[in-house]
Chain A
């Protein structure tokens, strides 16, 4: 019998959320939450610092 290599990944563990707000709630542990008012001019500099 010929050997074959499978590149099939494991099946997903659970369905993905259909909306961004659902995704953010499901993945709250990796979301950076800003709680204080931010000036519009600082949006770029601040968002670039998040991972």
Chain B
């Protein structure tokens, strides 16, 4: 899911129509889902002590991992509204039926609090492996649900087709009938356990530790014929950077269009460490670009530290082209320094052709000596640089 080609295939459209399609479908009402009695994911059923998720091919993600790391989509149900919330909460598989789960989305924490407030000490959860990628795009939605849906109710909407759900074996929860593997579990809402060295989407080992709730596995169901285990690798630049931000892009597309801009694209580029956003559009008059930049920087997510506005002629698939536009088209805030006669953004000096004046900017992107040096250690997969994919094809 790292590029527009595969993202477009997930929605059944062309790359040039992808963002407009996702933005349009997110504006539509929830389609919900159909409940069916059974499905392919029920071909093999392992209950209680028979269910051992360490038998699944769960990989370690980086050198500093203490346990295999599950990155599957998970489903939880809001006990108040009944809506189905989903995300990809990374989970350390620390035992045959035990995991430590890292919920990062605010909505997941709200739902956990509702279960606690209702006097319950456990929350049903299902880990779902192996679904069409449109499920993954929608599962990673973060933002207002308008009190009208959870992510699962919108999967059929963005796929433009009905989806079927089937009841879990040990939980009051429904899961996609066409999934490859489902792990049923309960989240312990009372206790927390310390886990070290998170793999952040910024590709560092941050934060250095978390206090996480545990999950207890109660069943595993799967297809009978070679069920597919889907791994979302978290480092280095992988699905981990763009996937949780694809719906961000569509939401921003809608908001920027409301400003009256002709939006061509919005990207949280895979190479932007999930901290930078590119907005690309043409505009009818002065003043609109700064409003667009402020709109993006004021987004509800913590991913718009750096926002760059670009014109439609820049190739967003090419970081070199993006850097070239930054170098040649911006007019920085430090004003009136000597400009290059080759810089089109610099202001021509009247009567002194071809000389110009320009602003300058300095970006300090060095390791900060005032911080803990360990904060800047990059996270890498095990054996990174030692194995080549081309040797295995």
Contact = CB atoms under 8 A, between A and B. Distances in A.
A2 interface: no
A44 B383 CA distance: 8
Contacts of A38: 392
A35 B392 contact: yes
Interface in B343-393: 381-389, 391-393
Nearest to A31: B6
Interface string B147-190: 00000000000011101100000000000001010000000000
Contact of B392 (A7, A22, A36, A48): A36
Contacts of A18: 132, 161, 163-164, 178
Contacts of B159: 16
A19 B233 contact: no
A19 B59 contact: no
Contacts of A16: 10-12, 132, 134, 159-161
B238 interface: yes
Interface stretch (B19-27, B75-83, B112-120): B19-27
B57 interface: yes
A50 interface: yes
B382 A30 contact: no
A9 B250 CA distance: 13
A15 B11 CA distance: 9
A16 B9 CA distance: 9
Contacts of A21: 130, 180, 228
A10 B13 contact: yes
B228 A48 contact: no
Interface residues of B, number: 53
A36 B392 CA distance: 5
A10 B130 CA distance: 28
Given A16-B160, A17-B132, A43 B231 contact: yes
A20 interface: yes
A45 B11 contact: no
A48 B383 CA distance: 11
Nearest to B57: A40
A4 interface: no
A23 to B, nearest CB: 5
Interface string A10-42: 101111111111110001001011111010111
B382 A45 contact: yes
Contacts of A17: 132
Contacts of B391: 36
Contact of B133 (A7, A23, A51): A23
Contacts of B178: 18-20
Contacts of B11: 12, 16
Given A18-B178, A45-B383, A46-B387, A33 B236 contact: no
Given A30-B5, A44-B233, A44-B383, 16 more contacts: A12-B11, A16-B10, A17-B132, A18-B161, A18-B163, A21-B180, A22-B132, A23-B9, A30-B9, A32-B393, A38-B392, A45-B382, A47-B233, A48-B384, A49-B389, A51-B2
Interface of A: 7-10, 12-23, 27, 30, 32-36, 38, 40-51
23 contacts: A7-B20, A9-B13, A9-B20, A9-B21, A13-B13, A15-B12, A15-B160, A16-B11, A16-B132, A17-B132, A20-B178, A21-B228, A23-B132, A27-B6, A33-B393, A34-B389, A36-B391, A36-B393, A40-B60, A41-B382, A44-B384, A45-B382, A48-B381
